[in-house]
Every structure is written in structure tokens, then in C-alpha cells.
A and B are shown apart, each in its own frame.
Chain A
Amino acid sequence: MTETSNWLAACRVEDAVENGGVCVKNGEEQIALFYFKRRNEWFATQNECPHRKQMALSRGMIGSTTDEPKVACPFHKKTFSLHTGECLSGDECGAIKTYPVKIDNGVVYIGKYPK
């Protein structure tokens, strides 16, 4: 398998929402892509919140706790680390999958396989 086939061209940088998320279709799968402009970082996670199985994380607010970047599900405000996917709300929601992101020539690529 070549290096390039492991990456999905998601969108252009200007299509992403600054300090927020968008949802990327990858076949049957949905991936939430976050452009954390304030930290100048990109993150990608599964779009489904494991708490109630809602396709919603891309519509959630992002932020940080101590220095850990996180996203809050719009449904019940369960929060997840954008780095590790771990649930930070302390009630054993289970972790979410996170994916690598790279920018090349103004295009955002998401790794097809979780970190």
C-alpha cells in the first residue's frame, strides 16, 4: 500500500470552520474534523458520540481543560480529549477514535486509519 492511499483528501483549509468542527464523509463512515486555530492545531475524531450514539461531535464546541484540547458533544456535553479520544466527563462513556491530520498545499488530509 502506498503512502498516499492511506490519506483521505477531506476539504480545503478555507472550508473548515475556524475553532470549530465540520463533518467529513468517508464512505459509510463519518469523521469530525476540527481546526483549532487558536492553538494552530488540527484534529480528527469519529463523528459519533459514544454516549448516545449520535452523529454530532463535529457540531460540538471545542476548548481545553488544563492544557488538554477537547470537544463537547452538543447533546449532553460529554467531553472527549482531541489528543487521545479519552472521555473526560468521568462517567465511562468509552473513548472515541482519533485520526491523524496533515495539510498539504491548502488541502486537509485525514489518515484513514485511527491513531
Chain B
Amino acid sequence: MKKAQIIVIGNGMVGYKFCEKLKSKSESFDLIVFGEECRRAYDRVHLSEYFNGKTAEDLSLSTATWYEEQNITLFLSNPIVKIDRDFKMVYAADGLSYAYDYLVFATGSAAFVPTIPGVEKDGVFVYRTIEDLELISEFAKKAKTGAVIGGGLLGLEAAKALIDLGIEQTHIIEFAPRLMPRQIDPAGSEMLKSKLADLGLKIHLNKNTTSIEGEEKIIAMQFSDDTKLEVDMLVISAGIKPRDELAKACGIEVGPRGGILVNEKMQTNDPSVFAIGECALYDGMIYGLIAPGYEMAEVLAANLCEGNKEFTGFDMSTKLKLIGIDVASFGDNFIDEPDCRTIIFENKHKGIYSRINVSNDGQHLLGGILIGDATAYNMLLQTVNNKIVLPENPEELIFGSRSGGDGVEGAGIVSLPDSALICSCEGVSKGDICGAVTNLNCENLDDIKKCTKAGTGCGGCIPMVKDLMVHTFKSQGKYIKNVICEHFNYSRQELFDLIHIHELKSYDEVLNEFGKNDGCEVCKPLVSSLLASLWNEMILKKGNDVAQDSNDRFLANIQKGGSYSVVPRVPGGEITPDKLIIIGEVAKKYNLYTKITGGQRIDMFGAHLNDLPVIWEELIAAGFESGHAYGKGLRTVKSCVGSTWCRFGLHDSVSYAIRIEERYRGIRAPHKFKSAVSGCIRECAEAQSKDFGIIATEKGWNLYVCGNGGSKPQHALLLATDLDSETCIKYIDRFLMFYIRTADPLTRTATWLNKMEGGIDYLRNVVINDSLGMAAQWEQEIENLISSYKCEWKEAVENPAIRKRFSHFVNAPEEKDPTIEFVDMRGQKRVAEWKTV
């Protein structure tokens, strides 16, 4: 039997979701999709991330081959231009025509451009597609000031884009007396406005633009109150208008203010024609959010597969982060007294505004608004949607979230019914998520995402999904042991002791003795790290090379494109002019990009795998050694110049930093670790941001531990004061061994301490008072590691078997990878961007 043919007009997010949903339900349709844009459907919700370095491909919703794999015919840059409903035919821009049994409009919307004289001028843009973004970003290079018309959700997104593009002064022009008029109330708007102003945005409310001035290019905006604003560019983001022109032209009914009229089955006045997403008008409303669009796709897909689903409107609650500020509204956000009782909390100092609307009998939550801190959003939304009876003091719902909210949030989850919708993008309920844990044995977030799709849309529900997962574990009495992976039923610490006691030296021996099957990319680097921490043998010997992580495997950091970077050790950041010249010469000879690192050394990028041994041969001959920038071990010991030159310096911080760096170089640990030595309290070496940091005092050295830069900065804590040089090193020895033995895999010292019961006091007791009685053993162990240190690059270049592995092609050892591409930038090379399809 011939399959029924469905034609989808539009390849946006909702059109794509419809294809995905339909294909997952049935194979009995032929699906043809026509897209107007030149790209496959992409994530328009996160469009502004395009300016933060995400590529068009990153934003794409599917892989290049997905449509083909699903047997869907996809036409891009080929819009439908005409529809003949009598013959059930569509005509595409390329001149060809196709017959349909069912026709689906997923044409979305276009930016609404008000009729202001001058909107056609150069420098005036809309904010809708990747093409728009490309035009904006090109133009922004020569612009200093910019404005956005529209203070709604999309307008604020566009303003963020202008900030990201380096526009020095960005203005927001809003016709209404407040920002985000559909989501937040006047008081919330005031709070948001002052937070945005702190970020340098100029907000103009009650402003009506009457004309755009300039010859060919915009130079200023004229307003109805006779004021004027000079700008170099303008982005119009004043709302959307449904793309219903094609439907209208073929006699499909549309609403008086636009939008294709549909019933609860998404059906138009022609029974074989449907509309979904932002082009559809249901019950007098256009749904401009992603979750209702997906729901429409689901309803239509189900009904075409002989299901019986209805679209009956959708909760328009939203939570988003605008330029780093939480903004959320839920339920009936604008209902006011006397129809309800409102509870408002405002903290101007922290920029937090919370409003909840409670029913007059105090029983139920009706809706609310959150600005500045929306951590309570999920729970509040659930409380509204599931009509959960409020506690005696409903204000705790918003105050509770400030103090971590564990009690309120935790208790809240339990009281939710199984039908509570947790992920509204994918329509996943609490019951689905708990069921995935209980019946499908999901043990982590990824499993749950795979099984239920929860959290794969906007991602806002992920914290709640995690809480539900943990709660379900607990209720099952399931003990989650921190085992390494499916191959080793031990924790890292257990395996450390086992390898130690049994004196195992290679990954294969460890797997044979204590593991099962073939290992994987999780346990291999972990075991390799343990072996290195215990025995400090050359990491590429005894078959351990193939058990090393990417960087350790080739003793260099793999970079975008597949080239490597080279970092020689420069202890304490002290280097002679001759050695600087050598680095320059080597970099020149092998055409490497050079950059000073944050750890006071020099990184050389863009080395071919084949060149690594010869580069190192030259560096070693000049007296350099491996900097272990690729390893989970000691990186650098940064120093200020100290008392040898500095008029404030108390001690010789450089000499001490060199001594420490040379003492711990090459020692491998659960994660990388860094150190610094400052010669006085001015702290120029930034020692308090390091895993261990040392600061000179009048009487000796102060030792700080467990600091961290990176994504979650944390100051180091003072472990001991006024130490002499020897004692300070003794304490560091003990501290490091304790860390190496007990930390979880890939855990920095800061996190390790955060998880430690008793915290810094306990740690101090272990290190200084030897409360575990381990100090002597640890000092001996670290002595063994220090005395067995060898430069592993020296060993590598001198060993022909290891050296042989530094070639790209096994059958053409002299040839380098021809696919690595470099481009020019500021007189040096840089690697070409991630390739897109």
C-alpha cells in the first residue's frame, strides 16, 4: 500500500520536533520538509549563544545525516510559494510541485517591524535568524552605540547580543511603561531595570519612536516627546507576527490580527491542512514559547497516528536568565487584590524581587513573579499546577529558597503527585522520572535523559530531575557506592590500596586482578593515575600507554584540529635570556604559536604529532624538561620576584618556589594542582588561589591550602602560620599524600576539602598533629616519588619503541595529518575553527 504523504512547510524548532515525534510513533508516512532558511532546524531559544562562541552547527537540533536516516526528504533554501488545495499540491521555489495527503504549516513567525519612517535604512536590523545575527555582528564591528526597540524577552536578548559584540553603549527603547510587560509587574520591572542599569544598559520606558534619521545609514532616532538619541545601529525586536501569508493566499482561515486558525486537533478549516507552533492561532492566542509549540507537535503527530490528543491551551510560565539575571513568572502572575492576597519580598541591596499570589482562603498558590533569584521557580510552579495546599506560612516558599531551600524543596518533591509535569518541553511527569529510576534502572542524569528525554529541551527542570532521582534512590534504600565504572566495583581509594598491597604495575594486571571485561575510558586513566601516583614509573611503558588519557598518551595537550601544544617547565617562572632565545628559535623552526601562560611559562601551540619528539629533543638539549602541562599533577609554582629585587620583599620567594616546583614536579594526583609563593603580604603571586600557597611573613611562611581558580573560584584557607622552610615543606608533603590517597577521581583539592567531614580543622589535625598516625609513612612515600623522578620526555625520545608511536599514519610514518588547518591571526598562526558540515 502506498504510504500517506505528509508535507511540512517550515524547518524550525517545532517543524523539526513534529518530524521527530511522528517518526518515533509510526513508519507509515512519507515525510517531505521544505525549509526557507539554508540551515537545518536550529535552537532559536539559545540564539544569543552564537555570540559566545557557539557555532551554527552547535545550535543545530539534529545531525547532518538525521533526516536521511529517518527517510525524511529535506529541502533547504526552497520555500513553498503556492498551494493548490483542490489538487492537494504544493509548488516550491525551485519550480517543482509535490502532492500531499496532509499538509502541515510550521512556518513560525517573523519579527514584527512597526511602520516607523526610516526602518529601511542601513544599520537597522531584526533579530530572528542566524543570518540576522551574522549581519548584526558584521555591522557591530564599526558601531559604538546601539539601540534595541522592544523591552520584552526578545528585546532584552538582543540587547545582550549587542553587549557581547562589544557595543560600548546600548539603549533599550520600550513603548510600554515597564519592561517585559507580559511577564512582570511594575515593581518587578523597576528591580530588573536597576539591575540592567548596573550592567551599563540605558533603559528608556514610555518612549515612542517616530522616525529613524540619517541619509542612507541610521544616525539617530526621533521620539514623540521631541527627544532624540544618536545611535550607530538599531535592532528591532518589538514582537512577532505569524507567517500566515501562504495559508491566507490559498484560502485557509486566519485570525483578524494574523495567525492560522486551528482547533484543538491543530486542524484548519481544511481537514487535511494543519498548523503548529508560532504560526497557529488557537482560541485567540499565539503561543510564542517553545514548550507549547512542542506540545502542538505532539498533539498533531499523535492524531495522525490515530491517537486522540487535544491541545487545550498551555501554561505560559517561564523562567529565564537574561544577561545573567533570573527572571521568572508562573501561573496567574498578575492577579491582584482583592482577588487574592499578595506576598511581596524585595531586597534592593541584592536585587531580588519575589511576589506570590495566594488565594484568599490561604489554601493555594495562584501565581507569582521572581526577579534576581529564581531558584524556587520549579517548586512554586508545581505548587500552582498541582494545587498543593500551602503551609501555614506561605512566605517560607520564597524565603526558604534563600537559605539553600533544602528543607522546603526536598519536602516539596515528596508531596507532588505522580502526574506533576516536571519537564514541560518534553512533557515528562514525576511518575515517568521516578519510573525510569525504579523500573529502567537509570542511575544518573544521562540515563534519565536518554530514557525519558526530560531535561533535553530548555534544561530548566534539571535540578528537579536530579532531586527526584536522589529521592527515589533513597526511598528504595539504594546505597549509591561511588564505584569507578562497570569494570571496577571499587572506589578510587579502595583500588589505590589494592594496587599498593598487591604491587601491581600495569593497567592490564589491575584489570585482571580486580576488574572485569575490557575496561573503558573512565577506569583506564584512573588506574593509570593510581599507578603513577604509587610507583612513578614512565607512564608509556608496560602497555600503559593505551590506558592513558588523551594528553598523557602523547605527553602533550591535544588542541582543536588535532595538533598539540608544548610547555617546558620554567620553575618559579625564572628563565635566562638564553633559554628564552631557545624557545623562540624552536617555535620559529616548527612554526608554533606562542603564548605566555597564567602559570609564568610559555606555551607553544600547533605542533604536529610527528614533530613532538624532535621538538623535545631540541628543548632537552638546551636544558629544558617536561612541564607536565598535560598531566594530572603539579603544574607550576608561581612566584613574585621577592626580596632579591623587591623593596617590600621579606624572603626570597623565587628560590623557594623553584625548590618546591622541583620537589613535586612529575608527581601525579587525582587532578592537576598548582602552587605559588609570595614574598610579602601584598601577595603578587596570588598564592591564595592555589591548591597550596605560601606567603612570607616577618617570622617565616604562612601556608594556605585548597584554593582554586577556575570555574568555581575559592580562596585557600590558612593551614599554619610562621613556619620555617623545612616545616613548611614537611606539611606540604603530608597534605599532598593525604590528597593523593583519598580524593575522588578528578577532584581538585578545594572540592576534596569541601566534602571532607570536619573541614579545615580536621585537615589541620591530620597534617600538623598527625591524628591518623600516617605522617611518617606519607613522608617516606613522597620521598620515594621525589627520588624516582625522571623527565618523561627525555625517556620518550630516547626509547625507539615509544618514539615510533609519535606518527600520524602507521603506513606513512613521515607524513603529517593533512587535515590540520591553520589560519593567520595577528602575525601568528591559529587553528581553523571546528569544521561545520
Residues of A in contact with B (beta carbons under 8 Å apart)? 10-11, 15-20, 22-25, 30, 33, 36, 38-39, 50, 52-56, 59-67, 69-70, 72, 74-75, 77, 79, 90, 92-94
Flag if A16 contacts B519 (CB, 8 Å).
no
- What distance in Å separates the Cβ of B814 from its nearest Cβ neighbour in chain A? 11
A22 to B808, CA, bound (A): 8
Q: Which residues of A contact B561 (CB under 8 A)?
A: 54
Cβ of B399 < 8 Å from any Cβ of A? Answer: no
A22 to B807, CA, bound (A): 9
* A63/B811 contact (C-beta < 8 A), A17-B805, A90-B449 known: no
- What distance in Å separates the Cβ of B369 from its nearest Cβ neighbour in chain A? 35
Flag if B812 contacts A25 (CB, 8 Å).
yes
* A90/B562 contact (C-beta < 8 A), A10-B811, A20-B545 known: no
Flag if B63 contacts A94 (CB, 8 Å).
yes
Flag if B550 contacts A64 (CB, 8 Å).
no
Sort A-B residue pairs by CB-CB distance and give the 9 closest, nearest first.
Answer: A74-B550, A63-B520, A20-B546, A72-B521, A22-B810, A64-B518, A53-B835, A94-B63, A25-B809
A72 to B547, CA, bound (A): 12
Flag if B65 contacts A61 (CB, 8 Å).
no
Q: Which residues of A contact B836 (CB under 8 A)?
A: 53
A93 in complex: contacting residue of B63, B446, B525, B550, CB < 8 Å: B63
A33 to B518, CA, bound (A): 17
Residues of B in contact with A (beta carbons under 8 Å apart)? 62-66, 69, 446, 449-450, 486-487, 508, 517-521, 523-525, 543, 545-547, 549-550, 553-554, 558, 560-562, 805, 808-812, 815, 817, 819-820, 834-837
A25 to B141, CA, bound (A): 43
A25 in complex: contacting residue of B508, B547, B805, B811, CB < 8 Å: B811
Flag if B518 contacts A59 (CB, 8 Å).
no
Flag if A75 contacts B550 (CB, 8 Å).
yes
Q: Which residues of A contact B66 (CB under 8 A)?
A: 92, 94
Which residue in chain B gives the minimum CB-CB distance to A11?
Answer: B810
Which residue in chain A gives the minimum CB-CB distance to B520?
Answer: A63
* A64/B517 contact (C-beta < 8 A), A24-B810, A90-B449 known: yes
A13 to B808, CA, bound (A): 17
Flag if A50 contacts B63 (CB, 8 Å).
yes
B524 in complex: contacting residue of A11, A61, A90, CB < 8 Å: A61
- Interchain Cβ contacts under 8 Å between A and B, 30 examples: A10-B810, A16-B810, A17-B545, A18-B546, A19-B547, A23-B809, A25-B811, A25-B812, A25-B815, A33-B810, A53-B835, A53-B837, A54-B562, A59-B550, A61-B520, A61-B549, A63-B487, A63-B520, A63-B521, A64-B517, A65-B486, A65-B520, A69-B518, A70-B520, A72-B520, A74-B549, A75-B558, A90-B446, A90-B449, A92-B63
Flag if B834 contacts A53 (CB, 8 Å).
yes
Which residue in chain A gives the minimum CB-CB distance to B456?
Answer: A91
Flag if A55 contacts B810 (CB, 8 Å).
no
Flag if B547 contacts A61 (CB, 8 Å).
yes
Q: Which residues of A contact B819 (CB under 8 A)?
A: 30, 55
Flag if B543 contacts A18 (CB, 8 Å).
yes
A24 in complex: contacting residue of B486, B487, B525, B809, CB < 8 Å: B809
B562 in complex: contacting residue of A11, A33, A55, A70, CB < 8 Å: A55
Q: Which residues of A contact B64 (CB under 8 A)?
A: 94
- What distance in Å separates the Cβ of B557 from its nearest Cβ neighbour in chain A? 11
- What distance in Å separates the Cβ of B40 from its nearest Cβ neighbour in chain A? 12
Which residue in chain A gives the minimum CB-CB distance to B451?
Answer: A90
Which residue in chain B gives the minimum CB-CB distance to A39?
Answer: B518
